[in-house]
Structure 1
Amino acid sequence: MKSILAGKSILIVEDYPAMRKAIRDMLYSLEADTIVEADNGVSAINAISKTNFDIVLCDYNLGAGKNGQQVLEEVRFRKLIEYNCVFIIIAAEQSAGLVLGAMDSKPDEYLTKPFNAQQLFVRLERNLLRKDLMQDIEKEIERGNLSQAIQQCEKLLTKGNKRMRTHLLKMRAELAILVGDFDTGRQVYYDVLQERDLPWARLGLGIIDFQQGDLHQAASEFEDLLREYPMFLEGYDWLSKVHEAEDNLQEVEDVLNQAVDLSPQCILRQKKLATTADKNGHVEVAEKAYKAAVSLGKYSVYKSCSDFTNLAKLYSKTSNSEAALKTLADMRQEYVNNPEAELRASTLESDLHNVSGNEEMAKLSLQKALSLHKQLGSKTPKDLQLDIARSCYLQNQSAEAEAIMDGLIKTHIDDEAFLNDVRRMQSDIGMENHSEVLIQTTKRALVATNNKGVQLYKQGKFKEALALFDKAMTVMPDNKTIIINMLKIIMHDLKATAIDEEKLLRAQALFKKARQINIDRHKLGVLQMEFSNLLRNHVSEPKV
């Protein structure tokens, strides 16, 4: 019988030569024939960028530089590994914090040292079989062909593979949620829980409640889950989302604090805790989390200059100008010739000079910030634009501030969390409710545009409806509601009339835009499924 490792390309990432040799010898004893080695995180990523490995065995502690968790996060973020790659994190330690931190990045397995060839074989065999079974489904998902993915999943379920049945049911429920088929998703989770109390199934029920807008029931589901499974970190993330949707920031902070205590190595969770505690005025919690984000970011793909400036802003709020300026100096050293970093620094320096009474330096720093903002244009992050507007208000440059606020509010009018940030900023500088008129006016204009567009759509005037939304997009280019409505109209037009390449390309561009501005996947699911079906039928149609 052919070995399961024969012909598989394998990467060993381990900083100790003796351990690399031990793992290599184990693999050769299992009849592996293609093995590459790397002794640090950077070398590992370089190797993965050049070769499509079937298996990566990566130690967690890799000495100075990136650790195994950060290697996995980066290769996933940069899409350097295919779905069928089995990624196993190996570690000598078994502390809860380290294990949970490593599992946060969702490796296929977590293997503790010492282990033998048989233990390694069992892990590899299990995951290779699972990947092989699920790869067709994953390929269809990657292509956006959700209906084909569902069909493939149901086909495999009918074959009665007992070893993989649970994996397939989990996938089937997740696909149901993606396409908005919440009844099917809920039933699959119920059926699973009838057989066995699995935390991911309970989590899934809470996610469905959340997606359907039943925040109270979702919170109850997640709270019950965490009482039974307090180490299930995804439960904390989803419970924090519920509280965030309700704008209960104290509850968000409390939940994230619990998760960070369990797993302090997750940089994204530390960032969220920091900004939430900052908004709540809890300086010590925010400072600790910002410092953690800066430290974790040193070798992380999720590093950001905003972590430094957020920490510096916190120091400025507590009148610790020296610490704020030192943090900005550290950032400039880390982000040399980075326009966004320099823009963030200049904006904060303007505030620091303004507080110290140095009006001339404050004015010069703000002018530099406005110039850099003009260069970056739409690439300036929304939180940074809000900071620039704040500085303009404080230095009596109202025209510049109002222009920035006008664009921000119109672009993000359907992002209630950001609108709350706008309200908090203006309240902090004594301008409470200043932008409320613009917010409400913009909301009414969006509703009117939507209503008119839907009316034209129902009258069969598709071109007129699209033209209306096109015009609205010039004012609100990243508005999620408008993009979703445009996709709905194009889908109906494609189904009702002859399909042509221009319409298909337009739809593809809108789907790409929707992903870029992070429209929830479940809101796109049905539309994506309809589009993939249209594409498939279009391709299969005989050419005359």
Structure 2
Amino acid sequence: MQFSNKQVLIVEDQRPFLLLLKGLMHSMGSSDVVTKSSAEQAVSLCKKHKFDIVICDLHLGAETKNGYELIEELRTRRLINPTSVFILISADSARPVVLGSIERRPDDFLIKPFSQVQLKSRIVRAWQKRQFLQQAFNLIEQGEYNSAIDHIETLLENPHHYKGHCEQLLVELYWRISHPKKALDVLKEYIEGKPVLWAQIALGRTYLLLNEHEKAISIAKKTLKRNRFNADAHDILAQAHHAVDSGEKAVEAIKEAIKLSPFSLTRHFKACEIGRNNNDLVLAANSSQAIWDLSKRTVHKASLHWCGMIRSLLDVAESTDDKGQRNKYQQEALLTLQRGKFDEHLYKIDREFDVDIFGNIVNARISAIDGKLIDAKRHLNTSQIQLGDKYQEVPTAFIPDSINVMYKLGEFDDALQLSSLLSSRGEELDQNSSDMLKTQAQNAQKSLASYQQFNREGIQHYQQQDFERAKASFALAQGFAPVNTGVALNLLQCLLQIAIKEDKAEMKLINECKRLFKLIDDMTLKAPYKEKYENIRDELSKYIGF
């Protein structure tokens, strides 16, 4: 391998080691060596220049991108060529750091200190592999997966040193195009043959895709007997146990995976799902916090992750019967909300995100948890009016938690309307938001159906001028949606018509009106609701002294 014609980028925040690395590369023959002290500078540079070799330290400062985040960004945004070699280096040899580094799949990972001979041999080995698989990598980058599969299968027809790499790439391509049976065909020789770690993990994941969960569990257990520190095997165990409703085992396995290798977004998303489905909401909350911390400087950054972190704390508060614990998690959510006002990462991610508006949605949820439904409704209404005033269209970041509170308060029509808006945009939500919306829709299904049935019957009776029966139907609908504005207005309209018909108002009718007034008064209403309420109240004032 000739280094003289290779463009090299070194990213290292410690100047002495940066100069040492630069010297090592010069001594190997490299003349074009560029150095940067931060990942942010490296990203800016890679937008203009393509480098053949990138050598990056893992730790680049407390509040800046690290080596994990740089490699993900450069590859995701295609700021380096498919044939470029990325070497990650670190003085930290702790197991979680090493496993986290390997999971980012750099071409190699070196622990400091290392020699020039070690560095050169690792670069040469990685370069030769990338050159051999150059056409496959180019096709994958272009999205030509079937062509890449054909090319790799052609390479496998002849013996070479990269057989395992080719098979691994082929298996992953079959996963990507949803052909797990073909992936299993590639792995067949490893089922009974000599155990190879990558192949055992690939077998486990393939069995998961084929819904052969017992086989996945078996292969994961065999892998852990040989290497109890393999986080991927624990992941497979967690997913397989989760799929066969062995909740406790799933929770235990995902916790062990996180303990071994805590720097994986995918792992934490899976932990959130497993935690929620098995009522371990503290696990889900901890992983939601990790998702925000791990994503906020990366290509995966999203304000929805920050919203999900607060939502998960309130999920714990809502689920507990212990008043002290409930208050603890509510206060933690409010404290996190306050910190958000000064969070530079949140501001950089979404400059249009309004923490105060989201705060009203959070306060609505807290009031609902405390049983203060009218206060919850007031906060929710205020947030929706603010969203309408500030934005031409409601930003996606506010929608999942708005829908969440709407379902909890029985504002089904508004929840369905926002859900429809979300679907029409075709935007891909983060997994936590998607799971939450799906769960909320399922939980609300019976109440929604009953609400819609009684509300529809009430409208029919009202149109037939059978106001007593209409009132009875709307009252039943309100039982499933106790602070629903639309139902409250429908009930008031019925009471008005009854008062007009009888030309008087009985005490029972007056008390019912007062109850509904209390529900709506001082509430921030949308324009159509506001106009309707004012008209009904004016008319009722002729029959009720207030």
TM-score by length of 2: 0.68
Partner amino acid, structure 2, of 1:324: A
Q: Is the 8 A contact 2:308 2:432 kept in 1?
A: no
Which stretch shows the higher mean deviation, 204-213 or 96-105? 204-213
Query: How far apart are the structure 1 equivalents of 2:449 and 2:251?
Result: 26
Give the 3-state SS of the residue equivalent to 2:87 in structure 1. Answer: strand
2:42 aligned residue: 44
Query: How far apart are the structure 2 equivalents of 1:330 and 1:42?
Result: 24
Query: How far apart are the structure 2 equivalents of 1:420 and 1:305?
Result: 16
2:447 aligned residue: 434
Q: Is the 8 A contact 1:207 1:218 kept in 2?
A: yes
The structural deviation recorded for 1:344 is 4.2
Picking from 319, 328, 333, the partner of 2:342 is 333
Distance 1:248 1:399, change over 3 A: farther
Report sequence identity in percent. Answer: 23
1:355-374 equivalences under 5 Å are: 355=369, 362-371=376-385
1:347 aligned residue: 361
The structural deviation recorded for 1:377 is 5.8
Query: How far apart are the structure 2 equivalents of 1:167 and 1:156?
Result: 11
Relative contact order higher in (CA < 8 Å, ≥ 6 apart) = 1
Offset from partner CA, 1:220-272 (integer Å, 9 cap, x none): 33333333333333333344343454565544432221111001223443344
The structural deviation recorded for 1:35 is 0.6
1:188 is aligned to 2:186 = yes
Distance 1:209 1:68, change over 3 A: same
Give the 3-state SS of the residue equivalent to 1:333 in structure 2. Answer: coil
Give the 3-state SS of the residue equivalent to 2:342 in structure 1. Answer: helix
Partner amino acid, structure 1, of 2:342: Q
Q: Is the 8 A contact 1:268 1:302 kept in 2?
A: no
1:88 aligned residue: 87
The structural deviation recorded for 1:94 is 1.4
The structural deviation recorded for 1:23 is 0.9
Offset from partner CA, 1:163-213 (integer Å, 9 cap, x none): 222212322333444455555432331225666421221222233333333
Q: Is the 8 A contact 1:92 1:112 kept in 2?
A: yes
Query: How far apart are the structure 2 equivalents of 1:90 and 1:211?
Result: 34
1:482-501 equivalences under 5 Å are: none
Partner amino acid, structure 2, of 1:218: A
The structural deviation recorded for 1:34 is 1.0
The structural deviation recorded for 1:112 is 0.9
Distance 1:36 1:251, change over 3 A: same
1:309 is aligned to 2:310 = yes
The structural deviation recorded for 1:427 is 8.3
1:168-179 equivalences under 5 Å are: 168-179=166-177
Offset from partner CA, 1:61-90 (integer Å, 9 cap, x none): 222322211222222333322221111110
Partner amino acid, structure 2, of 1:211: L
Give the 3-state SS of the residue equivalent to 2:127 in structure 1. Answer: helix
Distance 1:342 1:158, change over 3 A: farther
Q: Is the 8 A contact 1:9 1:53 kept in 2?
A: yes
Q: Is the 8 A contact 1:84 1:135 kept in 2?
A: yes
Query: How far apart are the structure 2 equivalents of 1:396 and 1:185?
Result: 47
2:56 aligned residue: 58
The structural deviation recorded for 1:437 is 9.5
Partner amino acid, structure 2, of 1:202: Q
1:164 is aligned to 2:162 = yes
Query: How far apart are the structure 1 equivalents of 2:182 and 2:279?
Result: 43
Q: Is the 8 A contact 2:285 2:313 kept in 1?
A: no
Give the 3-state SS of the residue equivalent to 2:327 in structure 1. Answer: coil
Partner amino acid, structure 2, of 1:187: D
Partner amino acid, structure 2, of 1:345: G
Distance 1:103 1:332, change over 3 A: same
Q: Is the 8 A contact 1:226 1:232 kept in 2?
A: yes
The structural deviation recorded for 1:424 is 4.8
Distance 1:434 1:421, change over 3 A: farther
2:396 aligned residue: 380
Partner amino acid, structure 2, of 1:319: N
Q: Is the 8 A contact 1:14 1:38 kept in 2?
A: yes
Partner amino acid, structure 1, of 2:90: A
The structural deviation recorded for 1:126 is 0.5
The structural deviation recorded for 1:26 is 1.0
Query: How far apart are the structure 1 equivalents of 2:95 and 2:299?
Result: 24
| Matched length | 429
Query: How far apart are the structure 2 equivalents of 1:420 and 1:298?
Result: 21
1:76 aligned residue: 75
Query: How far apart are the structure 1 equivalents of 2:409 and 2:8?
Result: 59
**Of the two, which has the highest radius of gyration?**
2
1:12 aligned residue: 10
Query: How far apart are the structure 2 equivalents of 1:55 and 1:396?
Result: 57
The structural deviation recorded for 1:18 is 1.1
1:389 aligned residue: 403
2:31 aligned residue: 33
Query: How far apart are the structure 1 equivalents of 2:176 and 2:307?
Result: 32
Unaligned runs of 5+ in 1: 439-544
Query: How far apart are the structure 2 equivalents of 1:170 and 1:226?
Result: 20
Distance 1:319 1:99, change over 3 A: same
Give the 3-state SS of the residue equivalent to 2:3 in structure 1. Answer: coil
Offset from partner CA, 1:359-388 (integer Å, 9 cap, x none): 67534431244357775869626xx64532
1:246-261 equivalences under 5 Å are: 246=244, 249-261=247-259
2:101 aligned residue: 102
Distance 1:346 1:13, change over 3 A: same
Q: Is the 8 A contact 1:340 1:380 kept in 2?
A: no
2:148 aligned residue: 149
Partner amino acid, structure 1, of 2:71: L
Q: Is the 8 A contact 2:208 2:216 kept in 1?
A: yes
Query: How far apart are the structure 1 equivalents of 2:235 and 2:403?
Result: 31
Offset from partner CA, 1:297-352 (integer Å, 9 cap, x none): 45344343234423542464323333221111112322344437666433212122
Query: How far apart are the structure 1 equivalents of 2:373 and 2:432?
Result: 33
Query: How far apart are the structure 1 equivalents of 2:10 and 2:434?
Result: 48
Query: How far apart are the structure 2 equivalents of 1:177 and 1:267?
Result: 19
Q: Is the 8 A contact 1:58 1:88 kept in 2?
A: yes
1:399 is aligned to 2:399 = no
Partner amino acid, structure 1, of 2:338: A
Distance 1:379 1:83, change over 3 A: farther
2:332 aligned residue: 323
Give the 3-state SS of the residue equivalent to 1:434 in structure 2. Answer: helix
Give the 3-state SS of the residue equivalent to 1:57 in structure 2. Answer: strand
2:199 aligned residue: 201
The structural deviation recorded for 1:30 is 0.7
Give the 3-state SS of the residue equivalent to 2:253 in structure 1. Answer: helix
Partner amino acid, structure 2, of 1:310: R
Partner amino acid, structure 2, of 1:434: S
Distance 1:242 1:338, change over 3 A: farther
Query: How far apart are the structure 2 equivalents of 1:67 and 1:419?
Result: 29
TM-score by length of 1: 0.68
Q: Is the 8 A contact 2:231 2:258 kept in 1?
A: no
Query: How far apart are the structure 2 equivalents of 1:183 and 1:314?
Result: 39
